[in-house]
Amino acid sequence: MSTAHNNANIGDIAETVLLPGDPLRAKYIADTFLEDVVQFNTVRNMFGYTGTYKGKKVSVMGSGMGIPSIGIYSFELIHEYGVKNLIRVGSCGAYNDKLELYDIILAIGASTNSNYASQYNLNGTYSATASWELLSKAKNVADEKGIETHVGNILSSDIFYNADSDAWKRWADMGILGVEMEAYALYCNAAKAGINALTILTVSDSLVTQKETTPEERQNSFSKMMEIALGIIE
Ligand code: HPA
């Protein structure tokens, strides 16, 4: 069995999947942290791998950029492949001056300017939240390892290059810690299916200070985030 976007067979994918945005980062994570790695997906170069970490079966797959992309891949992982825990490991732009480059955010909630939740026909605004089980584990792992984390609400934006250059300041005024482009859809898909999702982010740039990391630095700057994500699994 395979889908239009994933040529894995049933059973090829673990119940817990790490989801970086970049498929080459999925390959890097598999090569660096997992043992006995088998590639399960090549469609559209959205690489996915299954291996073991400290004897536990775990998978890692790219989600692509943006709510539509992670919406597709996470839906299929849940509904076609039986995945129960989805952990996004990504980067974000900081909206708050307390956040430095490389700081870690555990996204307890995701706000959005996307229409993603309109599909549920709710008579109101849906608040997308992380699974408490994964969030509390992540926080405990981080505390035990002495890794500082910022736990809060983030913005999953549909817009990277915003014509309204001050829009971010109004989200920042609401306590939003930073911006990325995927968590809201991941949390909605997980909630609707009754499974677990969490988003862990490394600050890669700051809207406040204009500081930013280079793409090369980004690729290698996520060790703290990976320690937390892998600590949840073990
Ligand atoms: N905006 C949106 N997504 C991001 C950013 C950003 O500044 N940085 C990392 N992901």
205 is catalytic: yes
H or E element that contains 231 = helix 223-233
User: How far is 21 from 186, CA to CA, in rounded Å?
Assistant: 12
Tell me, yes or no, whether 7 lies in a domain: no
For 75, the token pair is 């839906």
pTM greater than the 0.95 cutoff: yes
* Domain membership of residue 75 as a residue range: 16-231
Mean pLDDT of the chain: 96
DSSP 135-185: HHHHHHHHHHHT--EEEEEEEE-S-SS-SSTTHHHHHHHTT--EEESSHHH
Q: Which of 67, 91, 158, 162 to mutate to test the pocket of ligand 1 (most atoms within 8 A of CB)?
A: 91
Query: Which residues lie with the beta carbon below 6 Å from any ligand 1 atom?
Result: 91-93, 157, 160, 179-181, 204-205
Centroid of ligand 1 to alpha carbon of 132 (angstroms): 25
Q: Is residue 219 pLDDT above 90, yes or no?
A: no
Tell me, yes or no, whether 146 lies in a domain: yes
Q: Which atom of ligand 1 is nearest to the CA of 157?
A: 2
Centroid of ligand 1 to alpha carbon of 2 (angstroms): 32
Q: What pLDDT is recorded for position 21?
A: 97
Q: What pLDDT is recorded for position 215?
A: 76
Q: Which atom of ligand 1 is nearest to the CA of 181?
A: 3
For the chain, give the longest Cα–Cα distance. Answer: 49
DSSP 52-97: EETTEEEEEE---SSHHHHHHHHHHHHHTT---EEEEEEEEEE-ST
Report the percent of the chain where pLDDT is more than 70: 98
* CA-proximal residue: ligand 1, atom 9 (nearest): 92
Q: Which of 95, 181, 214 to mutate to test the pocket of ligand 1 (most atoms within 8 A of CB)?
A: 181
Tell me, yes or no, whether 160 lies in a domain: yes
Tell me, yes or no, whether 96 lies in a domain: yes
Q: Is residue 1 pLDDT above 70, yes or no?
A: no
pLDDT per position as a tens digit, 7-57: 999 999 999 999 999 999 999 999 999 999 999 999 999 999 999 999 999
Q: Which atom of ligand 1 is nearest to the CA of 91?
A: 9
CATH number of residue 178's parent domain: 3.40.50.1580
Q: What pLDDT is recorded for position 8?
A: 95
Confidence of residue 190 (pLDDT cuts 50, 70, 90): very high
CB 128 within 8 A of CB 187: yes
**What phi-psi label fits residue 156: left (phi over 0), alpha (psi between -120 and 50 degrees) or beta?**
beta
Q: Which of 100-104, 176-180, 191-195, 217-221 has the lowest mean pLDDT?
A: 217-221
Tell me, yes or no, whether 11 lies in a domain: no
The burial class, CB within 10 Å (0-12 / 13-18 / 19+), for 215 is exposed
What domain count does the chain have? 1
Q: Is residue 220 pLDDT above 70, yes or no?
A: no
Query: What average pLDDT score do residues 197-216 get?
Result: 93
* CA-proximal residue: ligand 1, atom 7 (nearest): 93
User: How far is 10 from 20, CA to CA, in rounded Å?
Assistant: 22
Tell me, yes or no, whether 117 lies in a domain: yes
**Number of C-beta neighbours around residue 164 at 10 A:** 9
User: How far is 143 from 224, CA to CA, in rounded Å?
Assistant: 12
